[in-house]
Amino acid sequence: MNKLNVGLVCLLTLLCGNAYAQFAIYTIDNQYKAVFPASPQFAGETGKGDQRYRSYNYTDQGSGIVYTATYQVGKTHFSKNDVPQAIRNYVNAYARVGNGIFTSYRNQLIDGNESAVFSIKYELNGVPIRKYSVVAYKNGQFFQWAVADFPSQSSLSAEQIFNKYLANFSTK
């Protein structure tokens, strides 16, 4: 390989290496914080009354990674003892929507709030998807952040991205 080709390969490696390094913490509707590689876009609302949820997302076309932030607009209050089961019920319903299978689940405190960190695998039109997510419950609301990839198509690992930036998820 001549010097010009080596130089081009080095330049390309440098440029591609930085293409996905622009992650920042975004505040979602002044409610909570989550990491995205660019400003998340409003995706819509679903549900009614206390069970209304608002979502934001960003799809990184270059890597095939999908980032999502969803939170409960209304409030549903649970006693302190019932919160862990309420979170589990929320996560179970979330998995059922896409006929997902849990690959991991753990309870965790985030900013002093009961939370769960979990991963789900499922298929959409025959395409496998892996989703890594955290959901926290605070003052009657659920707050969720997720990173998903398509193993056969994504050039980056949603799991690595999620684990790297999970500490930046905040309900403060």
Has residue 46 been placed in a domain? yes
CA nearest 170: which of 145, 146, 133, 148? 145
Yes or no: say if 64 and 153 are a contact pair by the CB < 8 Å rule: yes
Has residue 13 been placed in a domain? no
Has residue 5 been placed in a domain? no
User: What pLDDT score was predicted for residue 97?
Assistant: 86
Q: What is the pLDDT of residues 111-148, one digit of tens each?
A: 999 999 999 999 989 999 999 999 999 999 999 999 99
Estimate to the nearest angstrom the gap between the alpha carbon of 123 and the chain centroid. Answer: 17
Q: What is the pLDDT of residues 34-61, one digit of tens each?
A: 999 999 999 999 999 989 999 999 999 9
> How sure is the predictor about 94, in pLDDT bands with cuts at 50, 70 and 90?
confident
| pTM of structure | 0.86
Task: Give residue 86's identity as a one-letter amino acid code.
Answer: A
pLDDT surpasses 80 at 16: no
Has residue 93 been placed in a domain? yes
pLDDT surpasses 50 at 20: no
Looking up tokens 């505040």 gives 27
Estimate to the nearest angstrom the gap between the alpha carbon of 115 and the chain centroid. Answer: 14
Has residue 62 been placed in a domain? yes
Looking up tokens 């309420």 gives 86
Under DSSP, the state recorded for 170 is B
CATH number, position 145: 3.40.1000.10
Has residue 12 been placed in a domain? no
CA nearest 104: which of 113, 95, 93, 114? 95
Number of independent structural domains in the chain: 1
Domain that holds residue 143: 22-168
User: What pLDDT score was predicted for residue 56?
Assistant: 98
Q: Residue 11 CB: number of other CB atoms within 10 A?
A: 10
